[in-house]
Amino acid sequence: MSRVCRVVALALLAAPVVLPLQAGSAGSKLSRDDRRWLEGVGPLITAEEARLFEQIDARDREPFRQIFWARRDPDPATPANERQVDFEARRDLADLQLRQAGLRGSATDMGRVFLLLGPPARVSHGRIGSSGAPVGPIECDVCNVELESSLIMMVGPTAGMEQATFVTWSYSPEPLLGIPRGLTVEFRSQFGLGHRLVRSEDVDRALDRARRLCICDGTRGYELDEVGRLVPKAASARGDDRLARALLSTREWAEASSQIAIEATPAFFMMPGEATYVPVLFEVEPDSLSWSDEVAEVTVSGRVDVAEGEPPARLRLRVALTRDPDGRVRFDLPFALSPGRRELRLAVQDDVSGAVGVRVVDLMIPDFHSGAPTMSSVVAYADAREVDGTPGTAGHAFQFGRVRFAPRQEFRRNEKLGLLFYVYGLEALPDASPVVRYAFFRDGELCGQTAEKLLPVSGTQAIGNTTIPLASLAPGRYTLTVTVTDRRSETMRARSVTFELKEAAS
């Protein structure tokens, strides 16, 4: 794809799992290499795949391995399989740093969790008292630590002591890893035997979900003929893929046949280079999804038509979603797109029911690199907090630095309205002194505004980030206008955002 248009962090995870897994023969005894491979991919392989690998003819095990990794390739257009490269690098690190009680690191409970979920955000460790309860936990943050060092911290300094010890790994919420509510994983050891996972239903479900979400292309299966031999199959064109058909269909058909209600709201920000950063918030109707343990697994596909003669930008990923505190289901996706008129097609498939929803959004992408003063979109948010994760990736599209903003279009009177925006191009205004005023309109009439406030300037841009109490406003639908004026040049820029205000929750 050219530098004019690219998708940020294409398809980290993707596609539903549909496997015909019935072998027609008893297979051949696993060789030493076969068993070593099976043990090596233990954290990733599903129980059905493992059974099939043991059942098939020995001659089919190498093709099986190729299909296994092809199903987990996040971007088949690139020469390398990024997931396989990352997994094997992690496995080498785990073998080096997580060895316990005679086991190589990747074969330990800690190694298996690390290979599926990566390093945790925080680690606590200590000893187990005579009552069986943890004593004196010591916590440490491993988010900003170099990976090799974080692995040493993850084991904990008490691992080899001749007493019962514990280590707890705490993961932040991450829908792409199948832990949308976060996860706490506890390990306990005794008498120097190494740490063992304290299993629970929550941990088992989360690890199974993470294993499923690692499969990027479920349309590539293991097909067997009548005698149980693996059938060679070319790379999938996804011709039987409902999501692919929905994205390629006419706009009228796609919207009319949508089975899941979707709303999509884009925002626009400057980014280095010629492209514009376009985080898109989408909301899904909760009642149209299948829920298990208050989690819904979905596959998301997106397509943006770009300049004529260039291939469209695409993404495809699998995520585990939960309801926000207000009962809504939200997720965000990041794009980097060239300025101009574009069409975004977003499709969501419920991985249990197979229902598909489609939303088509017309984008008019601004050019923030013209040199003239201009404003980004105004994002209305309900919460801003420091989080782990990489900004500009799926699920972290509205994260700037380590602060993630939770966009919303509906608020309660007992909440505060958060606002985030940027003013660009201040190099064109020597000694710029921008001020901002916020004005609330309802049914076209002004119903309140703030005094002017000086905006902080950083380099060639100004940053607006504030919260406004809503208790003085009556319930209803509002338009908030953000007006920025430079005191010296009288240059003015304005953007608006709409939101619905409801009574405080009882």
- The tens digit of pLDDT for each residue in 353-373 reads 989 999 999 999 999 988 888
Last residue of a domain, one of 167, 185, 213: 213
Among the residue ranges 17-26, 233-242, 460-469, the one predicted with the least confidence is: 17-26
Query: Taking a C-beta distance cutoff of 8 angstroms, is the pair 398, 406 a contact?
Result: yes
* Nearest one of 46, 88, 423, 24 to 213, comparing CA atoms: 46
- Inside any domain, residue 129: yes
Whether 68 has a pLDDT exceeding 50, the answer reads yes
Least confident of 141-145, 256-260, 332-336: 141-145
pLDDT at 7 over 50: no
Q: What's the CATH code of the domain at 442?
A: 2.60.40.1930
Q: pLDDT tier at 263 (50, 70, 90 boundaries)? A: very high
Q: Is residue 434 part of a domain?
A: yes
The Cα-based distances of 93 to 58, 69, 119 in angstroms read: 30, 20, 12
Domain that holds residue 98: 73-213
Quote the mean pLDDT of the chain: 85
pLDDT recorded at residue 21:
42
Are the CB atoms for 96 and 110 separated by under 8 Å? Answer: no
Q: Is residue 86 part of a domain?
A: yes
Residue indicated by tokens 């070593």 = 36
Question: Could you tell me if residue 201 is inside a domain?
Answer: yes
Q: Is the pLDDT of residue 110 over 80?
A: yes
How would DSSP label each residue in 333-384? EEEEE-SEEEEEEEEEEETTT--EEEEEEEEEE--TTSSS-EE-PPEEEEEE
Is the pLDDT assigned to residue 141 strictly greater than 80?
A: no
The reported pLDDT for the residue numbered 12 is 29
Predicted pLDDT of residue 234: 53
CA distance 73 to 426: 43
Domain end marker among 162, 193, 213: 213
- For residues 226-237, give the mean pLDDT: 69
pLDDT in tens, 158-174: 544 567 788 899 999 99
pLDDT at 165: 82
Q: Assess if residue 481 is contained within a domain.
A: yes
Residue 368 lies in a domain: no
Q: Is residue 140 part of a domain?
A: yes
> Can you tell me the mean pLDDT for 468-481?
96
- The pLDDT confidence band at residue 273, using thresholds 50, 70 and 90, is confident
DSSP labels, 154-168 = HH-TTTTSSS-EEEE
Lowest-pLDDT choice from 130-139, 156-165, 173-182, 289-298? 156-165
Confidence check: pLDDT of 376 > 50: yes
Split at pLDDT 50, 70, 90, the class of 333 is very high
The answer to whether residue 393 sits within a structural domain is no
Per-residue model confidence (pLDDT) at position 137: 67
| Radius of gyration for the alpha carbons in the chain, expressed in angstroms and rounded | 26
How many domains are there within the chain? 2
Please identify, among 189, 213, 237, the residue that sits at the C-terminal boundary of a domain. Answer: 213
